[in-house]
Chains A and B, each alone.
Chain A
Amino acid sequence: MGEYQDFEEYARARQNRLYRTAVLLCGDPHRAQDLVQNTLVRLLRYWPRAIRADNVDAYARTVLTRTFLAEQRRGLLSRRAHAVEDNPTGAGDPALRVTLLAALGELPPRARAMLILRYWEDLSVATVAGLMRCSQSTVRSTCSRSLALLRSRLDAGEWHAEPYAGLGAQRSR
């Protein structure tokens, strides 16, 4: 199988997942689409190296996160980042999405990325620290502060929403 065909199959299978992560990072469905597009282009550029990696998903996640942080630094996402525009598909819980993305938007980009990697991507503290090039204690303290802020922004119903219990097991990777 050719490398482009490999890439195409992988990208098709993963673009939705990458997009959801990007929405959490950017807070804006349109910017998220741009971010995933840029990520896929960069992933293709390094595809021969990516497919030699033990875990292509981890490689793609790293490219996505670093592209996000680089674009933040360059100001490419600053104007509309966390403008909290909703997706017209109405998927998920729009009200919760607006509240959660607004709360995430209050976090600095690195803190937001750490929180999303730790809890949305379910990565260990050590893995997040490696990806973010910081110490494990920095990840722990940043995530604790970020959790406290999110808790103060989301009401109790959103925070402990029982109907959502069990969704984690259904999540598609």
Chain B
Amino acid sequence: MHDFNAEEPALRRAMEQAVDGLAPRVDLVPRALTLGRRRRARIRLATAAGGLAFAAVTAALVVDYVPRGTDPLPAPPVASGPSVEETGAPVSTPEAADAAEPVEIHRARVMDALDRLLPARAGSLESMTDGWDTYIGVTENGGYRIGLDAVPASGRADGSCTDGGLDGLCRPYALDDGTPVAAWTESESGVDVSVRVRFQERDLVAEIVVDAATNPGMPLPLSAEDLVALANDEEVRDLIVEGAGLAEESGS
């Protein structure tokens, strides 16, 4: 029988000798500090924003719950206590941010980016719980869906219209760095019902889709150009890749 125990020191020595003295070409610490600080700041902001929204919703629910009658009522509990404005956003420590669910933090950051980058006609945005990285936009004409996704590039489209495989009309665009983008627009009865842009991001094919198919006749509030502008944002591209990783980890 083969003596694997005797081989272990030999393998260890071979590994030592193979990589002995290797070092990265550049000092990786300064960039890690820059990126890490930026990421922690974003998470703190997202967590604080989430906490503030939670406080506001809770306050509104408490106010709504106070029974209304003809008799003068004592002040509702929220009026006697410190207001949301007085308390401000909950203090978010790094530990609190670390303890928060990565998925929730991710969604908050995506919402923040969408709010910042999309035009006002996109309406108000909400996060959906059923569906990975899917968000709902609400305008005066109705609701629509915004989805972000990314899959490994192998065997899939790479961002050109020649890839095919999707319904509708495809028009080529490019990001500022020259990355090709394929924008597929699907129409029904002359009205655009969905726009889907695809482009290569690192080793993934990223996709941003806006879809109003569940609301027939509603004009899409966002165009292919809007989605290309979204894709041009470096943070959005990072978030798409991050979301794909979280989806993979969660098995969804």
B19 and A97 contact, CB distance less than 8 A: yes
Q: Does B244 contact A (CB under 8 A)?
A: yes
Binding stretch for chain A, among B25-33, B45-53, B76-84, B188-196:
B25-33
Interface flags for B65-108 (1: CB within 8 Å of A; 0: not) read 00000000000000000000000000000110010000000000
Which among B43, B98, B202 is the interface contact of A48 at CB below 8 angstroms?
A: B98
B17 touches A41 (CB 8 A): no
In the assembled complex, the Cα of A55 lies from the Cα of B110 at a distance in Å of: 34
Q: What is the CA–CA distance of A24 and B19 in the complex, to the nearest angstrom?
A: 8
A36 near B24 with CB under 8 A, answer yes
Q: Does B244 contact A8, Cβ atoms closer than 8 Å?
A: no
B18/A97 in contact, CB under 8 A? yes
B37 at the interface (CB under 8 A from A): yes
Contact with B along A9-43 (1 / 0, CB 8 A): 00110011001100110000100110011001101
From B4, B28, B154, give the contact of A40 (CB < 8 A).
B28
B120 interface hit (Cβ, 8 Å):
no
Closest to A98 in B: B18
Q: Which of B181-220 contact A (CB under 8 A)?
A: 202-204
Known: A48-B94, A147-B11, A159-B7. A87 touches B29 (CB 8 A): no
In the complex, residue of chain A having the shortest beta-carbon distance to the beta carbon of B12 = A119
- Label chain A's interface by main secondary structure: helix
- Assuming A33-B24, A89-B23, is B13 touching A164 (CB within 8 A)? yes
* B64 close to chain A: CB less than 8 A: no
Give the CA-CA distance A119 to B31 in the complex, in Å. Answer: 31
Q: Give CA–CA (A160, B12) in the complex, Å.
A: 10
A76 contact set on B, CB distance < 8 A? 202-204
Q: Is B142 an interface residue (CB 8 A)?
A: no
Docked-complex contact B4 and A92, CB < 8 angstroms: no
A75 to B201 CA separation, bound complex (whole angstroms): 12
Task: Give every chain A residue within 8 A of B23 (Cβ-Cβ).
Answer: 15-16, 19, 89, 91
Docked Cα-Cα span, A20 to B23, in Å, equals 7
Q: With an 8 A cutoff between CB atoms, is A128 at the interface?
A: no
Question: How many residues of chain B have a CB within 8 Å of chain A?
Answer: 48
A93 and B18 in contact, given A49-B98, A70-B249 (Cβ under 8 angstroms) = yes
B121 at the interface (CB under 8 A from A): no
Once bound together, how far apart are the Cα atoms of A167 and B10, in whole Å?
11
A1 — which chain B residues lie within 8 A by C-beta? none
Say yes or no for A44: interface residue by CB 8 A criterion.
yes
CB–CB B203/A75 < 8 A: yes
Chain A residues contacting B32 (CB-CB under 8 Å) are 11, 37, 40-41, 43-44
B2 touches A148 (CB 8 A): yes
Q: In the bound complex, what is the Cα–Cα distance between A151 and B15 (angstroms)?
A: 13
Which residues of chain B in 218-252 are interfacial with respect to chain A, using CB atoms and an 8 Å cutoff? 241, 244-245, 248-249
Q: Complex formed: what's the CA distance from A2 to B10 in Å? A: 42
Do residues A36 and B17 form an inter-chain contact, with CB atoms below 8 A?
no
Residue A173 is within 8 A (CB to CB) of chain B in the complex? no
Q: For A11, what are the chain B residues with a Cβ–Cβ distance below 8 Å?
A: 28-29, 32-33
B27 CB → nearest A CB, Å = 8
* Binary B-proximity of A124-156 (CB < 8 A = 1, otherwise 0): 000000000000000000011001101100100
Write out the residue numbers on chain A whose beta carbons fall within 8 Å of the beta carbon of B12. 119-120, 122, 168
**Minimum C-beta distance from A7 to chain B (A):** 7
In angstroms, Cα B229 to Cα A137, docked, is 52
Which residues of A have CB within 8 Å of B203? Answer: 74-79
Subset of 17 A-B contacts with CB under 8 Å: A7-B36, A11-B29, A16-B22, A16-B24, A23-B19, A23-B22, A33-B26, A41-B39, A43-B36, A70-B245, A76-B202, A78-B203, A79-B203, A91-B20, A91-B21, A91-B22, A164-B13
